[in-house]
Amino acid sequence: MKKIMIVEDDETISKELQNLLKNSSYEVEVLRDFNHALEKILESKSDLILLDINIPLLNGEALLKEIRKKSNIPVIMVTSRVSEIDEAISISYGADDYITKPYNPTILLLRIQNIFKRIDHKIDTLTYLDLEILPSRGILKRGNDELILTKNEMIIFQYLVNNKGNLVTRDELMTDLWNNNEYINDNALTVNISRLRSKLSFFGYSDKIETRKGCGYILL
């Protein structure tokens, strides 16, 4: 389980953020002691830090600079200041991503997931049971059996595989698709899911994508 540290001084946000991340099966630690922020962050052995820019005592950008001297742990900067300059500063100090408040929680989760995917080099080597997934070529294969997935089907399938065993909402899938510049509507998503199902049944996995009515899907 990946561990995420929240550096945020607003109580409500950090509490709700904690719930959000826990629901997506991350382990969460909240920084309480801003006096020793750097030490606490390094001690926590987190896999990712959500760092707010407006924190007490030390500004987030300065803290990021300090962290970067000692560690290259992924950092997502979070701020309520909407400005290109602030973003450029954060990125130049070594932030992995930058997101402005108020953010869409689904998009935040997606960004976190993308960072972990990048780090774990999961982009081009993904497997599901005995199936090999080649996203860049859009191919699903087992031995010599190959099937071509469309771009949309591939995006959906990858998302399901990355969250195997967990409930994936339609909103999450939609967000991921739109984030990949595939602006499909609700009907098209349903169609894509059923095509994906029939492609999986080609390999003998016919009932692997379960529908949870009104919620979403689970890949078993």
Partner 1 sequence: MKLGKYIIDKLLLIFIFIVSYFIIFLLLVSFKNSYLLIISITFIYIIMGSLLLFIPYFEKKKFYNELVNYVNLLDKKYLILEMLPKPSFYEGEVLYQALYDINKSMAEAVKMSEDNIEDFKEYIEMWIHEVKIPISSLTLLCHNHKDTLDKSYLEQVKRLDQYIDQVLYYVRSNYTEEDFVIKKVELEKIVSSVLLKNKDDLLAKKIDLFVDLDHIFIYTDSKWLEFILNQIINNSIKYQRKSVKSYIKIFVTDSKDFVTLHLLDNGIGIPKSDLSHVFKKSFTGENGRSSLKSTGMGLYIADKLCKKLGHKIEIESVHKKSTEVRIIFGKNKYYTMD
CB of 216 to partner 1, least distance (A): 12
Least distance in Å: CB of 186 to partner 1?
A: 6
CB of 23 to partner 1, least distance (A): 7
Whose Cβ is closer to partner 1: residue 122's or residue 170's? 170
What is the smallest separation between the CB atom of 72 and partner 1, expressed in angstroms?
25
210 bridge partner residues: 218
d(CA 187, CA 191): 6
Site residues (CB under 8 A) for partner 1?
10, 12-13, 16-17, 19-20, 23, 54, 80-85, 87-88, 101-107, 174-175, 178-179, 181, 183, 185-186
Query: Among residues 54 and 166, whose Cβ is nearest to partner 1?
Result: 54
Alpha carbons within 13 A on the beta-carbon side of 133: 24
Distance CA 132, CA 110 (A): 23
68, 86 in Cβ contact below 8 A?
A: no
100: amino acid identity, one letter: T
Cβ of residue 78: shortest distance to partner 1, in angstroms? 9
Judged by beta carbon, residue 25 or residue 80, the one nearer partner 1 is 80
Per DSSP, 149 falls in state P
Phi-psi region of 216 (alpha: psi -120 to 50; beta: other; left: phi over 0): left
**Is 2:46 a contact under the CB 8 Å cutoff?**
no
